[in-house]
Amino acid sequence: MRPSNRGGVAQDVQPTLPAGKVLVIVYHDITQKVIESDDMPIDEFVRQMDFFKADGYHVISVKDFQEAAAGKKTLPAKALLLTFDDAYLSFYQVAYPILKLYHYPAVLSVVTSWINGKNLDVNDIYAKKKFMNWDQLKEVSDSGLVTIGAHSDNLHHYVTANPQGNVEPAPFTFIYDPKSGKYETDAHFAERIRSDLAREQAELKEKLGVKPTVLTWPYGEYNEIGLKEAQKLGFNVFLTMESGLADVVNLNRVKRYYALPALNWVEDFKQDLLKTQLKSKPFIRAVQMDLDIIVEPGSYEQSDQNLGKCLERLVSLGVNTVIIQGYCDVSGTGTVNSLYFGNSVLPVKMDFLSHAVNRIKSRGMDCYVWMPVLSFELPDKKKNDELLVKEFKKGTIRPTTDSYKRLSPFDPQSLEITRKIYRDLSANVNFDGVLFQDDAFLTDEEDFQPRAAAAFQKALGLELTPAAVKDGPSEGRWIQLKTETLDNFINELIRTIHTYRPEAKIARNIYSEAVTNPASQAWFAQNLEDYLRTYDYTVIMAYSQMEKIGGLAKTEKWQQQLVDIVKRDQGLDRVIFKVQAYDWAEKRWVDEKTLVAELTNLEASGARNVAYYPDGVIEDKPRSKDIAPIISGQEFTPERVISIPPSPEGK
């Protein structure tokens, strides 16, 4: 384990549980013969139980948890809930007797088809395991110590997620049917989840006499559609695999700490708990890349070969986060008329994004999809022209002449269309987050679209004219209205994303000028303080060449100014400083010495999260041997390694 500056914690601070928080720990197979990474040796399990008792933890039941959430009970300090997934035979033979000795209650989550000996693929890791039988489950359920939870009847497996044959967890994946070439609809997905959970509930009621109210999502994966179906069936506690402390007031998303065997488990546990308490997280080291240079239209084989080169490069760079383009823009206009994922609005250049994201994540990197907010060019030219942002320039109102041909955020039709795009993206691509493009802006000469004029009339009681919003009392209110409209538009897209990807992080690009010059809000309708309140990450486009800052000395001073402003607003943890690796004006790559100097200076100035764009996968630009030492974000973390099955090609 190498020294790291990737997000440490003060050594003299002792971990405690904040008020309203519960530590929920998940165990799997407690066995003498360790097969999988999450198997727990018996002696280690006993050692952990001893630690919890000696360190003053109070083990609670899930009923205590539910009553505390309902305001009927106050939980003790250092409240701990023990959970066991999959109902392995070792729970009955090992864990259950130990729990009885300590008088510790627990939740045992059952996959009913596995108990019945069904749906276990001979190649699956679970086929090697032994599970409890119904008599044993009945015994522990009747003990009063163990609460039986649902873990699905047959959702604990992977399903086909895209045309390339990659697989993703069944509980939240919209299945791709290679015969029809179509993805599962919302209605079909909801029925699949509902029928599975209803079937499990009925069998648990028949065999054990209990109707579970606790649902442990297989793989910890779910979406809001599945959640609503489960709630209709009476489930009210939902256990995930999201790491962290559980919140008593949010039983829809109970975070859990993953128990793993380790030589220094107690110290590791305390450090992990302290990091959670202080909201410490690894610093982001990211590369943003164009899918345009990977996808070869008409040739999946060549595209996949290019992706293979990309994956090798990403591993050699050592980045922990990849931001990948979700749309086609080979010509570099910034206006999007085709996409790299199946959708109901725009043509599909190649349904390749899901495959690329799957393979990137299989290498242990977080993957964000980079998408426009407004700059979509619709196939229906008449509709597109109607919805375009309008500007007042040279004495006339006309469609915007900006390079970003954007749909007006004031028109509800723009939102309806864009929501459909983001629905299809979020349903069909298993990303970790979304980066909103820098096209979500309105200049001081925009927007004179009819719906914008109506909004202006409603808000200010005035007719929208160039004179009304220039150097008068209405100017500030007009700037604010445009900013609010853009923010509300994006918030609706975020709601759509979180319906399908509840844990997805949201990032948004902001121009550096909007950070250093408050007056620029009138030019862009962008505001740093609003960004910091709204998004998980704000990505500052610290493009020194594009901004024509000058030499390295001037660039360092300018970068320090950016960092200081973010530091003043207490946003260092939530801001990514992104530098440019290509000079578009000069049509050449920024030399590696300059790029490394800029990244190094940002880190030295106090930036915690850094990235660069673009990346030249094919031509090795910037050279990986030069950039890797500064952009690497790899470090050892004692977290569970999630195994993502390989693609059919083995990539």
Q: Domains, the chain, ranges and CATH?
A: 21-277 (3.20.20.370), 285-291+316-348+364-631 (3.20.20.80)
Among residues 515, 510, 458, 461, the alpha carbon closest in space to that of 487 is found at 510
* Each residue's pLDDT tens digit, 500-519: 999 999 999 999 999 998 77
Side-chain-side CA neighbours of residue 191 (13 Å): 5
Give pLDDT, residue 637: 36
Q: Which residue has the tokens 């030492």?
A: 629
The whole-number pLDDT of residue 643 equals 41
Between CA 502 and CA 432 the distance in angstroms is 10
**Spatial separation of the C-alpha atoms in residues 572 and 281, rounded to whole Å:** 12
pLDDT of amino acid 134 = 98
Residue type, 429: V
CB 88 within 8 A of CB 28: yes
Which residues are 508's β-sheet partners? 436, 538
Q: What are phi and psi of 444, to 5 degrees?
A: -70, -15
230 or 127: which leads in pLDDT: 230
Is 71 in a helix, a strand, or coil? coil
Compute the distance between CA of residue 63 and CA of residue 262 in angstroms, rounded to an integer.
31
Q: What is the CA radius of gyration of the chain?
A: 27
Among the listed residues 248, 344, 222, the one whose alpha carbon sits nearest the alpha carbon of residue 23: 248
Residues 6+ apart with CB under 8 A from 447: 389, 390, 391, 408, 409, 410, 482
Q: Is residue 335's pLDDT more than 50?
A: yes
Tokens for 606? 């106090």
CA distance 224 to 432: 16
| Structure tokens given for 370 | 């980079």
**Region 385-392: what's the mean pLDDT?**
96
Among the residue ranges 278-282, 410-414, 617-621, the one predicted with the least confidence is 278-282
HSE-up of 14 (CA within 13 Å, CB side)?
2
- The SS3 call for residue 79 is strand
Secondary structure, 3-state, 285-338: EEEEECHHHCCCCCCHHHHHHHHHHHHHHHHHHCCCEEEEECECCCCCCCCECC
**Per-residue pLDDT tens for 308-320?**
999 999 999 999 9
Backbone angle region of 419, left / alpha / beta, with phi > 0 → left and psi within -120 to 50 → alpha = alpha
- Going by C-beta distance under 8 Å and a sequence separation of 6 or more, which residues neighbour residue 513? 520, 523, 524, 547
114: helix, coil or strand? helix
Tokens found for residue 353: 């994004």
The Cα–Cα gap between 126 and 374 comes to 46
Q: Supply the pLDDT for residue 9.
A: 41
H or E segment at 77?
none
**pLDDT tens readout for residues 589-609:** 999 999 999 999 999 999 999
Residue in 275, 317, 311 with CA at minimum distance from that of residue 610: 317
Q: Tell me which of 460 and 519 has the higher pLDDT.
A: 460
Which pLDDT score, from 0 to 100, does residue 646 have? 44
Q: What is the mean pLDDT of residues 222-237?
A: 98
Q: How confident is the model at residue 636 (pLDDT cuts 50, 70, 90)?
A: very low
Of 380, 370, 283, 365, the residue nearest 317 (C-alpha)? 365
Query: Using one digit for the tens of pLDDT, what is the confidence trace for 267-301?
Result: 888 887 777 665 557 899 999 999 999 999 989 99
Q: Is the peptide bond before 471 cis (omega within 30 degrees of 0)?
A: no
Which tokens is 171 given?
């509980």
Q: What is the mean pLDDT of the chain?
A: 91
- The phi, psi pair for 106, rounded to 5°, reads -160, 165
Selection from 332, 339, 340 nearest residue 356 by Cα: 340
SS (H, E, C) 438-459: CCCCCCCCECCCHHHHHHHHHH
Task: Provide the pLDDT confidence category of residue 4 given band limits of 50, 70 and 90.
Answer: very low
CB within 8 Å of 206: residues ≥ 6 apart: none
> Distance (Å, rounded) from C-alpha 82 to C-alpha 397?
65
Q: According to the model, what pLDDT value does residue 635 have?
A: 45
- Whole-angstrom Cα distance, residue 52 to residue 50? 6
Distance in angstroms (rounded) separating the CA atoms of residues 449 and 411: 8
In the structure encoding, which two tokens stand for residue 472, read together?
């008068």
Q: Which three-class secondary structure state does DSSP give residue 105?
A: coil
